[in-house]
Amino acid sequence: MTDRPDPLSETPDERAFLERITPALRAPETLKSGFDDRVMEAVRAEAPIRYPGPRAPWWRRPRTVRLSPLAGLGLAAGFAGLVALGTLATAGRFGPAEERPVATAVDTVHLVRFAISAPDARRVALVGDFNGWAGGTELSASAVAGVWTITLPLPRGRHQYAFLIDGVRWVIDPTAVIVRDDFGTETSVVTVSGTGAS
């Protein structure tokens, strides 16, 4: 068991402060005569809320909704169920991406274009197993504001990559297949086959 200070214990300064203010806090409060009558008169004078017209529309009338704790719990559980069903339906509709060719070519040089939208970036680099993950290859700002691109020749095979924004932020390609390594780091995948990239 660790030695932790008792949160209710007092320092000597706190104890002295409490001793100074306690008599004033414990002293009885004397109210002037007629105080109760003045309070009740003010309460009676309080005007009720009035709505324009002879009778306000139903959506402007005040309503009080009372729920028992059990009904409130049931309502919360129903809402949580709707959120869970919506999430499952969305996950089924937008399932995991499949690896497929990005482009096909019969040539021995396979050019692959990488692009990312990073409107606030000052510098974007492409890092991957094809450039040793070190430093990266700088992307250029395209004619479209905030979009950075580069086209690289890649050898055949399966290549993992990511974008490094401003030298500090690791971003995966949202349009590519995503893989996670043993340490939980996510990278994007592009596969270059004999006929093109995927």
Domains belonging to the chain, first-starting first, are: 103-197 (2.60.40.10)
Closest CA to 151 of 115, 182, 189: 115
pLDDT score, position 108: 64
State the Cα torsion 90-93-96-102 to the nearest 10°.
-130
- Number of other CB atoms surrounding residue 115 within 10 Å: 16
At residue 161, the pLDDT reads 92
Distance CA 189, CA 194 (A): 17
Phi-psi bin for 89: left (phi > 0), alpha (psi -120 to 50), beta? alpha
End-to-end alpha-carbon separation of the chain, Å?
Answer: 58
Predicted structure pTM score:
0.44
Mean pLDDT for each consecutive 10-residue tract of the chain (198 residues)?
59 83 80 83 70 63 78 85 79 59 60 89 90 83 88 87 90 88 86 68
CB 150 within 8 A of CB 116: no
Inter-residue contact 125 to 148 (CB < 8 Å): no
| C-beta neighbour count of 86 within 10 angstroms | 10
